[in-house]
Amino acid sequence: MDRLSNTVRPYAWGSTTLIPELLGTAPTGEPQAEMWMGAHPGAPSGTDRGALHHLIAADPVGELGADSAGKFGPRLPFLLKLLAAGAPLSLQVHPDLAQAKEGYAAEEHAGIPIDAPHRNYKDDNHKPELVCALTPFDGLCGFRAPVEAADFLDGLGIDSLKPYADLLHAHPEEAALREVLTALLGADREEMAHTVTEAAAAAERLGGAYAPYAAIAHHFPGDPGVIAAMLLNHVRLQPGEALFLGAGVPHAYLGGLGVEIMANSDNVLRCGLTPKHVDVPELLRIVRFEASDPGVLRPEASPSGEEVYETPIDEFRLSRYVRAEGAAPTDVTAPTPQILLATAGRPKASGPTGEFTLAPGESVFVPAGETAELSGTGTVFRATVVA
């Protein structure tokens, strides 16, 4: 068992206060967007034995276990994060595994540098993800039903939005959503900027269900992604609730602190709310044009006290233990690699190499098969693999 030393990424959308408040440290005045826990080469966690990705590369079966290494290769298949959004992230989708492999191979064949700003596929993996709220957490997830989206646009009373609402009423679901998103992203930028400005003013005036979109427009004035965002469901998670984001589902995080876990990939196709590259043809190939409920997840408790967030993929499994004072120790030994992250109290994680008291935001890595036990009081998130 290794205590992890983790990197905080200072992305511009990050909150200046949420991660410091959890850690009990003074804000620096700079955004602190994500704390990464894992073996991603972009910001691998450190241990007393060395960087985690080097430890795994040196002994993948010993660190990951034979099942995980055999199924996912010689790398930790997930990345765990604390995510603190102080402003909206880009409106985006992720490819499925087949699309990622195809897209990566095509860009490699074309000789596009891996760090080129117009590159879509940084690797050949998919990127399903799960975010669990630690504070009230706002996001957008999945398309509204076309008729509902049309009524929402009509409610703004903006003449230039009427053609989009008419399209949403006039076509079958998939065709309507595809045609409207295509039209929004292909519209004249100057005309669309004027429409977004009008829509933002109306949303500010109307408030209620329109308020989140007025806030988005404040951060991205004139961006056509503001109107595209209105096609999506707004959801507010309460602490302990979660969202699963599968392939092709458009989404954006708007604000709040959460624990996020994802397959180890950087593949993102952006729809808007960003100055970065938007590849419209590739985006339209990846997006699943179907209405969907955001599907708020609540953990399912087991007799051992483990509360599991069930998802349909194998690269990660997220659960938590909410330990009351005086609770008996819990054995969390597993044949797969684990990261244990404390978010409240001062629980203890112990194994053959010692005992670690974990303050909020602190974490340990447990190699596959190593004896591990939780004790003390507090909340611990457990990230591991389904192998």
Q: Report, as residue numbers or ranges, the catalytic residues.
A: 270
Structure tokens at 321: 């233990």
Nearest one of 141, 185, 152, 183 to 291, comparing CA atoms: 141
What residues contact 303, with CB distance under 8 A and at least 6 apart?
none
Provide the 8-state DSSP code for 383.
E
Other C-beta atoms closer than 10 Å to the C-beta of 141 total: 23
Bridge partners, 139 (sequence order): 235, 253
Structure tokens at 54: 């080097």
Which H/E stretch holds residue 61?
helix 60-64
Q: Is the dihedral of CA 140, 142, 145, 149 positive or negative?
A: positive
Beta strands in 175-306 (DSSP E): 232-237, 242-245, 251-263, 269-272, 300-301
Contact 155, 206 (CB under 8 A): yes
Q: How far is it, in rounded angstroms, from Cα 214 to Cα 202?
A: 8
Nearest one of 118, 31, 47, 84 to 356, comparing CA atoms: 47
Measured in residues, the chain has a length of: 387
